[in-house]
Structure 1
Amino acid sequence: MEPALSILLLVSSSAWWVSADIEIKKVAEENVTLPCHHELSLLGLKSLDIEWWLEQKPESTPNMVIGYSDESVYNYLNNNQKGRVNFASNFRAGDASLHIRSLEPSDAGLYSCKVKNGGTYKLDRVVLKVLVQPSEPKCWMEGELSEGRNISLECKSSAGTEPIQYKWATVSGKEQILGVLPATSSVDFSNPARVILRNLSTAHSGLYRCTATNEAGHKNCDVQVIVQHTLSIGIIIAAVCGVIVGILLIILSVCLLVRMRKTRKFEEEEPPNEIREDAEAPKARLVKTGSSSSGSRSSHSGSSSTKSTTNSACRSQQTPSSQLTLPHYRSAKTERRENVPSKCTHSISRRIDAKSVTVDGQCRAFETV
């Protein structure tokens, strides 16, 4: 390449951005062909010279991409360009277009095609813009989902060709029909990706979708809004009191049930009560004769009265004839009293025996007379 042309390219590179012949926009991963046509091959092929230059930023130094000179092809491709950049057609016949496969964002820039043959020059400039679709945005919500509160919905794409526009809408039905935002909502003009929902009610519940859009395409994300119904303070207090009363009733029921079970178990284990009647002391019988004297009758009457008086005194000292006693609760003192013989009983027996002897003696004396 002649030095004069190189100097011309370097000096005028800053003006190429506004004076380029054409501008091409392509989405990343697509293929593109940058046009460059000439008729200088008619002058002969030995002196034909073709060069493609790339300036990625304004006022930066251009880099050689690919060229043809002395009937040979030369390339100065970097690692990202190798295997993807070459001449599109028969450049010797007049079509020196450049073909790029599977575009990457680094392929964007100002491309210059210079064709020289002898003293004749031709220069074509093409601005290539590689567009990148917005990355899938991230949606989030800030605020309290309660009636009467305010919340904000936001979304953001981490990658994509600027400018990226954001738009919020409601989503309804299985058909994913987009609708307008509630009347109480507003867009933050300083940040269009942010929407504020004011004075929430249950009508605000639903699915909201944010769509990020640029020249290359669009992506979206969804966020679910569920507004919670706020209970009044009176209802909350009543509910708490009801829960406390219910817990107390449950505890009382359990205590009563345990007490009833213990009482029933005690009654089943307690032995039945025994009723015992103490036997009465034997009464002395007097032998009566048909022909007893009045003196003996009076004596007998006196002895009987004495005996009845003695028996009454003894019975008053004895235990009642009928008692309800529990064998398991009899004290040792009571048992000792039962084991001690009654003095009164011995005294009565002695008196009865003495009286019998007296009566028998009188009867015998009467029989002798």
Structure 2
Amino acid sequence: MSQSLLIFAKILSPITSYLNPNTKPPTIAKRYKGKATLKLDIPQGVADLLLKGVINTDTRTYECIVEIIGDEDGSQSDTAKLVVLVAPSTPVCKIAGVAEYGQNINLTCLSEEGTPSPAYKWQSHDVNNVPRPNPPKTTDKNGILSLYNISKDTSGFYICTSTNEIRSAKCFIILAVMQPPMNKVSTCVILAAVAAVIIFGIIIFFYCCRKKNKPEEYEMGRSDEAGGKQLFCCHGIISSSRCAVTPTNNV
């Protein structure tokens, strides 16, 4: 019988090997002792690699190599991809942003574990825990629920479901949309009042400048019906005497 060498390996990392004919058992890499075994049936051309207690990190491509000693054309190999299915871990739900009127926020959902990668879906319930459609313009992609221009009606319960071929897991968020803090409102009111005072002051200033530069004085009078006197307004002062106008000589 021709001598042959059988090697099972992860790509670039040998796991076990066997030289035929040989009375010794297959050689197992140290890190795989107690985990990997090789089941052989040489006459039938069968060699099965058995792995015990597989975990997520065992997901990878494995290669079987057969070499016939002295036959350069007899080298053959093939690969197989092992996918260890892992149920999604309980996802973590978070709020990204400020839950205040008019804001845009994201609700995030993520499972740390899960193979194949989990798919995520958000469901919305109102404050009475009654299911409802997601608010308008909402997007739900890769575990991120984006909410725009939020208001009191956006408040409620939001449930995220993380699912793959094994099972599903859930988390939820209670969203309470609040009005902006009163200190922000007070600041806006104060700034508006200060701006109004400044604008009013500017108007008065320009009005007074125009009055000051007017070339001639004038008076306004009206009768005081109660006292029978004639009252006059001169230079903005009300009196019972007429204004004294001093002519200006042109030089």
TM-score by length of 1: 0.39
1:97 corresponds to 2:42? no
The corresponding residue for 1:129 is: 82
Q: Distance in 1 between matches of 2:51 and 2:124?
A: 41
Write the mapping of 1:113-262 to structure 2, written as runs, cut at 5 A. 113-114=65-66, 116=68, 121=74, 123-131=76-84, 132-161=86-115, 165-170=119-124, 180-187=133-140, 192-213=142-163, 218-228=168-178
Whichever residue aligns with residue 53 of structure 1, its letter is F
Whichever residue aligns with residue 151 of structure 1, its letter is I
The corresponding residue for 1:269 is: none
Q: Distance in 2 between matches of 1:178 and 1:89?
A: 58
Q: Distance in 2 between matches of 1:108 and 1:179?
A: 42
Q: Distance in 2 between matches of 1:71 and 1:140?
A: 60
Write the mapping of 1:240-319 to structure 2, written as runs, cut at 5 A. none
The corresponding residue for 1:108 is: 60
Match for residue 66 of structure 1 among 3, 14, 17: 17
Q: Distance in 1 between matches of 2:58 and 2:174?
A: 38
* Residues 121 and 54 (structure 1), Cα distance of their counterparts in 2 relative to 1, 3 Å cut: same
* Residues 219 and 88 (structure 1), Cα distance of their counterparts in 2 relative to 1, 3 Å cut: farther
- Whether the 8 Å contact between 1:53 and 1:62 is mirrored in structure 2 is no
1:76 corresponds to 2:28? yes
Count of equivalent residues: 179
Aligned to 2:177, what secondary structure does the other structure show? Answer: coil
Q: Distance in 2 between matches of 1:109 and 1:171?
A: 44
Deviation at 1:179, TM superposition (A): 6.2
Q: Distance in 1 between matches of 2:75 and 2:132?
A: 55
Aligned to 2:153, what secondary structure does the other structure show? Answer: helix
Aligned to 1:210, what secondary structure does the other structure show? Answer: strand
TM-score by length of 2: 0.53
Deviations 1:327-354 (A, max 9, x none): xxxxxxxxxxxxxxxxxxxxxxxxxxxx
Deviation at 1:153, TM superposition (A): 0.8
Aligned to 1:203, what secondary structure does the other structure show? Answer: helix
Unaligned runs of 5+ in 1: 1-43, 233-369
Write the mapping of 1:315-334 to structure 2, written as runs, cut at 5 A. none
Deviations 1:109-135 (A, max 9, x none): 231141648858473412223344443
Deviation at 1:209, TM superposition (A): 2.1
Deviation at 1:165, TM superposition (A): 4.1
Q: Distance in 1 between matches of 2:7 and 2:133?
A: 51
- Whether the 8 Å contact between 1:52 and 1:66 is mirrored in structure 2 is yes
Q: Distance in 1 between matches of 2:29 and 2:131?
A: 47
- Is the strand fraction higher in 1 or 2? 2
Q: CA RMSD in A?
A: 4.1
Q: Distance in 2 between matches of 1:99 and 1:150?
A: 53
Q: Distance in 1 between matches of 2:89 and 2:26?
A: 37
The corresponding residue for 2:190 is: none
* Residues 48 and 92 (structure 1), Cα distance of their counterparts in 2 relative to 1, 3 Å cut: farther
- Whether the 8 Å contact between 1:51 and 1:64 is mirrored in structure 2 is no
Whichever residue aligns with residue 173 of structure 2, its letter is V
Whichever residue aligns with residue 141 of structure 1, its letter is I
- Whether the 8 Å contact between 1:115 and 1:123 is mirrored in structure 2 is yes
Whichever residue aligns with residue 54 of structure 2, its letter is L
The corresponding residue for 1:51 is: 6
